[in-house]
């Protein structure tokens, strides 16, 4: 359907060699976009690009560390030079560092904030600058339900994701007049390699299934549709929003 088509669009998805980032990249490619895969290790990106191309989709790779501002600026410039445009940024890279707040050092706190919040600011700044030239663009931040609820040992992650959603609204206000939208997606609990230890914890798994009205974890591909919606013409009037994809977990006590 043309309303959800990304044909002719260049889409950068950071942290897209695995997990939710890979699922989003696959969805964007299937919707017709040229997906630029990102991660720090070129060796993990090459097979992913080959898989997309084998399926008949358009893809390329741009390895860089999202926490390195100079590398981000150089990467965005390279993408624009190669493709002539950057239409969609999906800022997905991040990690839920776990440590009790009473044991966490300032350096550990700063590292989480740098990776999960500041990196998205730098990405949005560089991508937004490129998009301003065409007066059009989509910036999509991958937040978390942990921006609004919390669990022990992830204080820095919760703070970073809360800041990310506040920044989403600020970017929407600032870039909206230039035709650039900024929105966030807040995933709940999804089955990925990163959450495998929690999935295999019988007590925790039972808690998630019991707390979630749909009675299960999400599958990574179930997040792709939300990203496609926000990136496509279907979401052209959605700006400054947080789209929660959690099976209803945060809607109930």
Residues annotated catalytic, as ranges: 157
Say if residues 112 and 124 touch (Cβ distance below 8 Å): no
Name the strands in the sheet holding 242-245, side by side, starting at the edge strand that comes first in the sequence. 59-61, 34-37, 10-13, 88-91, 137-142, 180-187, 242-245
DSSP 218: B
Q: What are the helix (H) ranges across 149-243?
A: 155-175, 196-199, 202-211, 221-231
Q: 3-state class of 34 per DSSP?
A: strand
- The answer to whether residues 194 and 146 touch, using CB atoms and an 8 Å cutoff, is no
């Amino acid at each position: 359907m043309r309303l959800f088509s990304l044909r002719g669009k260049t889409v950068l998805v950071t942290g897209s060699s695995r997990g939710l980032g890979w699922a989003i990249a696959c969805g964007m490619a299937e919707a017709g976009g040229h997906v630029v895969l990102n991660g720090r290790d070129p060796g993990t990106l090459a097979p992913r690009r080959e898989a997309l191309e084998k399926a008949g989709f358009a893809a390329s790779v741009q390895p860089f560390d999202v926490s390195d501002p100079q590398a981000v600026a150089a990467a965005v410039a390279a993408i624009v030079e190669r493709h002539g445009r950057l239409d969609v940024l999906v800022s997905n890279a991040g990690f839920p560092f776990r440590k009790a707040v009473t044991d966490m050092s300032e350096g550990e706190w700063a590292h989480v904030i740098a990776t999960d919040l500041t990196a998205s600011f730098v990405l949005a700044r560089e991508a937004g600058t490129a998009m301003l030239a065409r007066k059009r663009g989509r910036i999509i931040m991958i937040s978390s339900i942990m921006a609004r609820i919390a669990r022990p040992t992830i204080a820095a992650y919760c703070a970073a994701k809360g800041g990310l959603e506040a920044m989403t609204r600020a970017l929407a206000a600032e870039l909206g007049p230039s035709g650039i939208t900024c929105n966030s997606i807040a995933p709940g609990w999804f089955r990925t390699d990163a959450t495998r230890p929690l999935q295999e914890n019988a007590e925790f798994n039972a808690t998630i299934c019991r707390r979630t009205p749909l009675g299960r974890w999400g599958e990574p591909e179930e997040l792709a549709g939300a990203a496609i919606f926000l990136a496509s013409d279907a979401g052209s009037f959605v700006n400054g929003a947080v789209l929660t994809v959690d099976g209803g977990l945060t809607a109930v006590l």
